[in-house]
Amino acid sequence: MKRSLAAVTALLLGITGCSSGGDAEESGPVTLTLAGWSLATTPEFKTLADGFKSSHPDITVELKEYDAANYDTQMIADLAAGKAPDVYVQKNLKNFFTYQDGKQLVDVSDVAGKLGPKVGGLSAYQVDGKTWAIPYRADSWVLYYNKALFDKAGVKHPDGSWTWAEYATAAKELTTKLKASGDKALGTYQHTWQSTAQGFALAQTAGASLETGDYAFLKPYYETALDLQTAGAQVSLGDATTNSLTYQAQFGKQSAAMMVMGTWYIATLLNQQAKGDADTFEWGIAPAPQLTKATTGTSATPVTFADPTGLGINPKISEKKIAAAKEFLAYAAGADAAKALAGIGVTPADSSSVADTIFSLKGAPGDELSKFTFTTHDTKPENPVSKYTAPLQNILKDLHTEVLSGTTPIDAAITKAQDRAKNEVLSK
C-alpha cells in the first residue's frame, strides 16, 4: 500500500505527540540519507532503498558509503561533526551503547511496538524500557565450504558433526592433498577479525563473559588458529594484513576450501558469482565447528554467534525527516523487506519463512545440510550490550593481534589482557 508523506507524518507525529510545525512541513517530497558500506558487493542497502521507494513514492533514500573496516570510527566522527546521514546502520552491538548513551539515536519505541513477534534481535536495542534501533538483518556465523575443492582433494564434505579439532584436521588434509594435485588453495581461511576466534569462544564456552575479566576461555581457540597457521593450512594474520586480503576473494576466488563467516556472505557470494567477480563453483554451508560433541550433529542445535544488524535515526534531523525515517525503519523490519532481502540471499530480521526463497536462488546450495545450517542454530551475541563492551573488545583486539602475529605467547597475552581489563575498564 502506498502512503503519502503527509499521511505518514501525521500518523507518526500523532503517536509521538510531536508537532509537525504546519501543513507546509507535512507535505511534499523528502530525501533521506542512509549509511552503507561496500556498496558494490553489498546489495542490501540499495534493495531496501528501492523497495521502500516503490511503496513510498514521495520519499527517496540516498546511500552514503562508508569504509567497511572503519565504519564506526567514521560514523562517530560524522555524528560529532554534524555530517552524519539521517539513518545509520548499527553494524554490530559493539558500539551501540556508545551511540545510545551519547544521545545519538532517536527513541523508536513507537516503531518497535508495531512489529510482530518474529522480528529477531529487537531486545538488543532496548535500554531502560525504550527501543533505540530497529533490526533488519539477523545473521549467524557458519562454515562455508567449496565442494569442488573437497572433491578434488578426495576429502569428505562436512556433515555437521565437526569439533574444532576435526575442522583443523580437515583443513590440514585439504592443504596437503590440494598441493599434491597442483592446486595452491589452502584448507581454510580465517579472516583478520578478532571475532573469528573470540566470537566462537564467547558463544560456545559455558560461563564465558567479557565482564568477568577472565579470558582463559580464549586459549583453545587460539591454539587451533596458531596450529593452522604453523601448518600452512591457512594464511597467517601478518600476511593477510600486509596483503590486505579480503575474505570475499579468498573464498570466492578459490584460494581457500573453507571459511567461517556470517550468513550475510551468501548474498555477496551469489552476487559476485553472477557478475563474474567470483569463480563459479559449487559450495555449501555447514554448522560452525563446535567446542564439544554435545552440540554437533543434525539432532542437536549448534552454537554460534552474531549480532543483529539494525537501523537508527540521527536525532539532529528535522521532525519531518524523523517521521519519514521511522516509516523506513518499519518497512526494513517488515514482511515486504524480508522478502526482498531474502531474494538477494540476505537473512532478514524476520527470517521465519524465507529459507525456501534463499535456497531457490540461482547458485545457492540445495543440499539438506545447508538448509539445516541456515535454519537451526543457537546464536548468541558477539557484543553483549554494556558500557564495558567497546573498551573490553578493544583490549581483546590487541590480544588477537599479539597472539596471531606471534609476538606474544597465548598465556602471556591473556594475562596481559586480564590486567588491562581490570585496571583500564572494570575498576573505573
CATH assignment at residue 173: 3.40.190.10
Does some domain include residue 206? yes
Residue 26 confidence (pLDDT): 56
288, 324: one domain: no
Residue 9 and residue 320 in contact, taking contact as beta carbons nearer than 8 Å: yes
- Residues listed for the chain: 428
Instruction: Give yes or no: residues 41 and 116 share one domain.
Output: yes
Per-residue model confidence as pLDDT tens digits over 105-154: 999 999 999 997 889 899 999 999 999 999 999 999 999 999 999 999 99
- Residue 302: predicted pLDDT: 97
Mean pLDDT of 367-388: 95
Q: Is residue 94 in some structural domain?
A: yes
Note the pLDDT of residue 118: 82
**pLDDT at res. 27:** 63
State whether 383 and 292 are in the same domain: yes
84, 173, 187, 209, 254 from 184: Cα distances, Å:
44, 13, 10, 39, 9
Q: Has residue 200 been placed in a domain?
A: yes
- Mark whether 171 and 291 lie in a shared domain: yes
Q: What pLDDT does 286 receive?
A: 98
Give the range of the structural domain holding residue 37, as residue numbers without chain letter.
Answer: 28-138+307-350
Mean pLDDT rounded to a whole number for the chain: 93
3 part of a folded domain: no
Does 119 share its domain with 152? no
Does 18 map to a domain?
no
Residue 20 inside a domain? The answer is no
Q: Would you state the pLDDT for residue 117?
A: 83
Q: Do 159 and 231 reside in the same domain of the chain?
A: yes
- Asked if the model's pLDDT at residue 417 lies above 50, the reply is yes
Same domain, 243 and 152: yes
Q: Is the pLDDT of residue 352 over 90?
A: no
Cα distances (Å, whole numbers) of residue 124 to 49, 264, 403: 24, 19, 31
Residues 330 and 210 in one domain: no
Report whether pLDDT(368) > 80.
yes
Spatial neighbors of 404 by CB under 8 A, at least 6 apart, are 222, 225, 226, 229, 236, 237
Same domain, 198 and 289: yes
Average of pLDDT values for 358-367?
Answer: 95
Q: Dihedral (C-alpha) 137, 143, 146, 151: value to the nearest 10 degrees?
A: -150
Contact 202, 389 (CB under 8 A): no
Q: Is residue 329 part of a domain?
A: yes
Amino acid identity of residue 170, one-letter, is A
Please indicate, yes or no, whether residues 293 and 227 belong to a single structural domain of this protein.
yes
In a domain, 409, yes or no: yes
In DSSP terms, 311 is beta-bridged to 89, 134
Q: How far apart are CA 167 and CA 152, in angstroms?
A: 18
How many domains does the chain fold into?
Answer: 2
Q: Are residues 384 and 259 in the same domain?
A: yes
Residues 53 and 116 in one domain: yes
Distance, in Å, from the CA atom of 5 to the CA atom of 317, rounded to the nearest integer, reads: 16
